[in-house]
Structure 1
């Protein structure tokens, strides 16, 4: 059985207590259920799933000198912004159906990193349910891992679809509708998760910042996406998201030209 198949098999049944499971290749999977808010926390291979409303992947270490107190953030939507489909379809047909937005994209992203920008991806994925047994979920994770093989040290935050509630099966792992709404752009749940993580893990180590606190460099940071409310766009969610988090907004054609 494949590695993904092992994961699917291991997570086929949910537990009501914390559990550590090791695969044959020593991949550690942590399952923890918070019985207060009925959300399930699952960790595997660097990915973390919170309930059914959010999953993310962050670098093992924040790739910045700890003396930098003004953080520059280059944040992006995923589909139609950083990548497009090879097939020309609106949605990818499989995990191999992707290519960079254009020939400049990868070099420009790496150049931002060289200039001490944190690269963040915030993406709504309304066709994906964050469950291990879902083929669409495994395909999506495989595609993102492939992208990360070209571009390391990227923060990825994903807002998936809420599963249907099955009254015949008491599924206490399904997050509340409010949670799903909060994390879906243009709402700010994914951005709030990023700021929370940075506050907990990035402390300034120099004499100029006694409290060790960072600031977001709003003047030089930005959010880039393709949903800008133009006639050809499906919505204006990216443009409004940028406004809600207080960052300048750019189209992918402006960043990757």
Structure 2
């Protein structure tokens, strides 16, 4: 068993077992689950596992703008640290030292709190991340092949024995087709890795008990006579298909190559067939997962029964990813941003935002806060009500402050109260800043925000905004109207990959 000692100024600070990880704040102090919201600067310190990697190393992953120094250079990227390597965080020196002994204190990842444990078992069920369960087989030979087959489980490998859409209990299953176990055994004899990957969002509300699902997996493994890997998205976050979170985890920690992987699943976006009577697929999550991860894809009929696909890509009911249609808006974004900054530098102003949820309003407001701490930034979501926003706006303008109203303000009526206050004070700089984003992109942005830990905004709220929307104009009483496009910004390669993915 590998383990690593992390020393702080020559004194032992942390101990990591193989496969373990710590979540640390920007000062390199341990963070517990309840302290992690997803927005603060932090580090993930993870140790390599001899079952998945030949290199003994600790990986330091800075998140949300956290920085460290190595070899005199400030870094924000992921780095692999080997025995005796040193690095600095907040002007404090740390060193990694390899040890072959078991660690006295072990941690898996942030969602599994294991304190004062003499050993973290690397076989069996684990929780590598929030909303993610992973089963690791005991047989190390299962990881020897670069060839990997991902299988959705329900209605691909098995189906309910009772004939319903959903199983009634752990034993309510039969093979999707009698050929399934034979094909899986054939793959097993070639040395290929077999990984079941399943969305089980109901676990989030305890509708599906985890032990019941694990019992089902045990039964399937007993029937087959061998263990296989299992990845379960037990929540609604970034690990839920079609998001690529699970594949990203496997690729980072187990060095998978997308070119040697195949995804098999029934959620392929196929339309209904009147001739055969087959209903349309309930979604395209399996096919989109393959697209997001760069994997080849087959339906169960194509893989197990060798059927030739009857569908053309144009027939598949797969909604395009609105983010992929984004053009480079940086020039226009920077021009509009500079204009707003220049206005706030020169004169007392009232700036009223208009735009869908998820169009970048609050992100832009934060940049203004950093540049102009004296400006009153009124975020309706944080303040709690429009009436309070109006009251605070009036108070701030009366004492000579500039005000930025960060709210959706979809129509003339929602903007009128603020305009009346400005006109009463004879303000000569009343600006409308319109965030020019179409509803499909706004919906995508809201989904991205939700699966990365932000608030959940339902589509109906965006449809309501569209129904009410009236474009801001000078005729309302604005001295100028400015539009600004959406310009995404990312802190890691995975955030970029996730954003441009098909999302749940």
- Whether TM-score is above 0.5 comes out as yes
Superposition deviation, residue 129 in structure 1: 3.0
Report Cα offsets for 1:70-118 as digits up to 9, x if no partner. Answer: x111111010111111011111000110111111100101111111210
Equivalent-residue separation in structure 2 for 1:145 and 1:65 (angstroms): 19
* Cross-structure match for 1:86: 161
CA contact (8 A) 2:258 2:293 kept: no
* TM-aligned CA deviation for residue 230 of structure 1: 1.3
* Distance in 2 (alpha carbons) for counterparts of 1:73 and 1:197: 15
Q: Give 1:154's match in structure 2, choosing from 228, 236, 254.
A: 228
Quick check: 1:52–1:130 contact (8 Å CA) kept in 2? Answer: no
Equivalenced residues, count: 187
Q: Is the 8 A contact 1:125 1:158 kept in 2?
A: yes
- TM-score by length of structure 2 reads 0.34
Distance 2:142 2:257 in 1: 14
Q: 1:117 to 1:126 in 2, by over 3 A?
A: same
Q: How far apart are the structure 2 equivalents of 1:247 and 1:51?
A: 23
> Distance in 1 between the 2:286 and 2:202 partners?
18
Gaps of 5+ in 2: 1-22, 24-29, 38-109, 114-119, 272-279, 306-504
Q: Contact 1:119/1:153 (CA < 8 Å) preserved in 2? A: no
Q: Quick one: distance in 1 between partners of 2:126 and 2:295? A: 26
Partner of 2:132: 54
> Equivalent residue for 1:226?
266
1:102 matched residue in structure 2: 177
CA distance in 1, matches of 2:163, 2:141: 34
Name 1:193's counterpart in structure 2: 249
Distance 2:223 2:154 in 1: 17
Q: Partner residue of 1:237?
A: 285
Q: Which residue of 2 aligns with 1:123?
A: 198
Q: TM-score, with normalisation over the residues of structure 1?
A: 0.65
CA, structure 1 residues 249+49, in 2 after alignment: closer, same or farther (shift >3 Å)? same
Instruction: Give runs of aligned pairs for residues 16-35 of structure 1, distance below 5 A.
Output: 35=32
Distance 1:221 1:136, change over 3 A: same
Partner of 1:167: none
Structure 1: which 5+ runs fail to align?
Answer: 1-31, 162-179, 200-214
Map of 1:72 onto structure 2: 147
Once superposed, which parts of structure 1, at least 4 consecutive aligned residues long, lie more than 6 Å away? 42-45
Aligned 8 A contact 2:149 2:261 in 1: yes
Question: In the alignment, is residue 249 of structure 1 matched against residue 297 of structure 2?
Answer: yes
Q: Which residue of 2 aligns with 1:63?
A: 141
Cα pair 1:75 1:122 within 8 Å, conserved? yes
2:209 aligned to which of 105, 128, 136: 136
Q: What residue is the counterpart of 2:238 in the other structure?
A: 182
Deviation at 1:135, TM superposition (A): 6.2
Distance in 2 (CA, whole Å) between partners of 1:146 and 1:105 is 15
In the alignment, the residues of structure 2 paired with residue 52 and residue 255 of structure 1 have an alpha-carbon distance, to the nearest angstrom, of: 32
Inter-CA distance 34–97: structure 2 relative to 1 (3 Å threshold):
farther
Q: CA deviation at 1:196?
A: 2.9
Distance in 1 separating the partners of 2:129 and 2:287? 27
3-state SS in 2 of match to 1:119? strand
> Could you list the per-position Cα deviations for residues 38-68 of structure 1 after superposition, in whole angstroms to 9, with x for gaps in the alignment?
74316787111246411110112432585x6
Q: Return the index of the structure with the highest Cα Rg.
A: 2
Among candidates 41, 66, 81, match of residue 112 of structure 2: 41
